[in-house]
Structure 1
Amino acid sequence: MAIAVAHKYVMRHADAEIREKSKVKMESLFTPAQT
């Protein structure tokens, strides 16, 4: 049970980190196009 909870926490944290990085990457791609 504890392993499943820890796994869920790690996956959620990793997913948030990936989303944050991809958001930054997208912003850096789109910013020159808008300028």
Structure 2
Amino acid sequence: MSVWGKLFTALRGGANEAAEAVADSQAMRILDQ
């Protein structure tokens, strides 16, 4: 069970990082305009 918990946490963390990267790129694009 702990293995699945770690895997889920890792996936969730990766998703959060991806979302932040997308948000950052969107913000930069808006600022550039």
TM-score computed with the length of structure 2 as normaliser: 0.88
Identity %: 3
Runs of 4+ that moved beyond 6 A: none
Match of 1:11 in 2: 12
Which residues of structure 1 form unaligned runs of 5+? none
* Structural RMSD (CA): 0.5
The CA deviation at 1:27 is 0.4
Which residues of structure 2 form unaligned runs of 5+? none
TM-score computed with the length of structure 1 as normaliser: 0.84
